[in-house]
């Protein structure tokens, strides 16, 4: 029977926002998933742009190649949902990592949580 636990993003300290410090690939680590194939992470994330200019956020979902990137434009003083429960899971004993970078370093932060699903 599967069990579910709610956890903070692994890149967060005590559930606080993760500041996206990178302005190019490979981005700032936001969350590291499980390394076990039977474990899933359902990830919910919101990004806040506290810059006075529009920012482009690139989420690198498990890989830093373009085909695994999701791009969102965030207006100044705006908070947007950027990961609505997307799943990553362990793969060949390797944890997938969610990274992020923005147009300007240190102007966007990411908050959220993970539903850890142990399917074993």
Task: List residues bridging with 32 in a β-sheet.
Answer: 97
Distance CA 58, CA 28 (A): 10
Residue 58 to residue 35: CA distance in whole angstroms: 23
pLDDT recorded at residue 90 = 74
**Would you state the structure tokens that stand for residue 25, as one six-digit string?**
């690939």
Q: What is the reported pLDDT for 120?
A: 67
Token pair 């989420």: residue: 59
Instruction: List the pLDDT tens digit at each of the 120 positions of the chain.
Output: 778 899 999 999 999 999 999 999 999 999 998 888 788 899 999 999 999 999 999 999 987 777 889 999 999 999 999 999 999 987 677 788 999 999 999 999 999 999 998 876
d(CA 112, CA 9): 6
Tokens of 21: 């410090």
């Amino acid at each position: 029977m599967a069990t579910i636990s709610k956890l903070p993003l692994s890149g967060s300290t005590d559930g606080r926002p993760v500041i996206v410090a990178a302005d190019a690939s490979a981005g700032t680590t936001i969350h590291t998933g499980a390394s076990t194939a039977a474990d899933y992470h359902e990830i919910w994330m919101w990004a806040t742009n506290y810059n006075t200019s529009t920012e482009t956020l690139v989420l690198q979902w498990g890989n830093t190649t373009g085909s695994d990137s999701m791009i969102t434009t965030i207006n100044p003083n705006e908070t947007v949902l950027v990961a609505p429960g997307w799943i990553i899971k362990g793969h060949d004993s390797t944890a997938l990592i969610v990274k992020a970078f923005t147009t300007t370093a240190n102007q966007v932060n990411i908050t959220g949580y993970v539903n850890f699903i142990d399917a074993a």
